[in-house]
Structure 1
Amino acid sequence: MDAALPPWRRVAKALEERIADGTYPKGSQLPGAVPLSVEFDVAPSTVAKAVRDLKNRGLLIASPGWGTFVA
């Protein structure tokens, strides 16, 4: 990953790539912030910011009480 990017952007980029390559297909549920924060070695708030960015761009949708899903 590009070390020049802020951590939340690196996470967002990695998640976007996983959506594009089918690792997370349409309709699939994204892992939670804590497992992703462990995987990417960042704080859960960093993952939350990345997920919020992807939601704002229409790649993810949130279902309160159910989780976050690929749009």
Structure 2
Amino acid sequence: MIELDGIEPLHQQLAAVLRARIEDGTYPAGSRLPSIAELCEESGLTNTTVQKALRLLKEEGLVRGFKGRGTFVAPQEPEGSAD
């Protein structure tokens, strides 16, 4: 849930919501996230705020953006697969 009056920046709150959905399988690896417009409508946030949230998730390696196709959940390496 996004708290508009909360202390945490809105883009970080949205990123946390999307991160939780990725972790719980709502958005499984390889699936397309809702469009920026859909996320704006769902969250009540601006286009810029949604883009900042997606950029944060990209920096974390959780999602990948493809121009003209959307944002997709990145494949996750199984835990304990480090060499």
Give TM class, smaller chain. Answer: over 0.9
Do residues 52 (structure 1) and 45 (structure 2) align? no
- What does 1:17-56 correspond to in 2, within 5 Å? 17-56=20-59
Which contiguous aligned blocks of 4+ residues in structure 1 show a shift greater than 4 angstroms?
Answer: none
Query: Match of 1:62, SS?
Result: strand
More helix by share: 1
Residue 11 (str. 1) matches residue 9 (str. 2): no
Higher RCO by CA contacts (8 Å cutoff, separation 6 or greater): 1
SS at match of 2:25: coil
TM-superposed CA distance for 1:59, in Å, is: 0.2
User: Over aligned residues, Cα RMSD in angstroms?
Assistant: 1.1
| CA displacement at 1:65 relative to structure 2 | 1.8
Percent identical pairs in the alignment equals 45
How far apart, in 1, do the equivalents of 2:45 and 2:68 lie? 24
Instruction: Tell me, in whole angstroms, the C-alpha distance in 1 between the residues paired with 2:7 and 2:20.
Output: 18
Q: Which runs of 5+ in 1 are unaligned?
A: none
Corresponding residue pairs, total: 71
Aligned to 2:77: none
Query: Which residue, 49, 64, 71 being the options, matches 2:67?
Result: 64
Amino acid at match of 1:48: Q
Once the two structures are TM-superposed, the CA of residue 19 in structure 1 deviates from its matched residue by 0.3
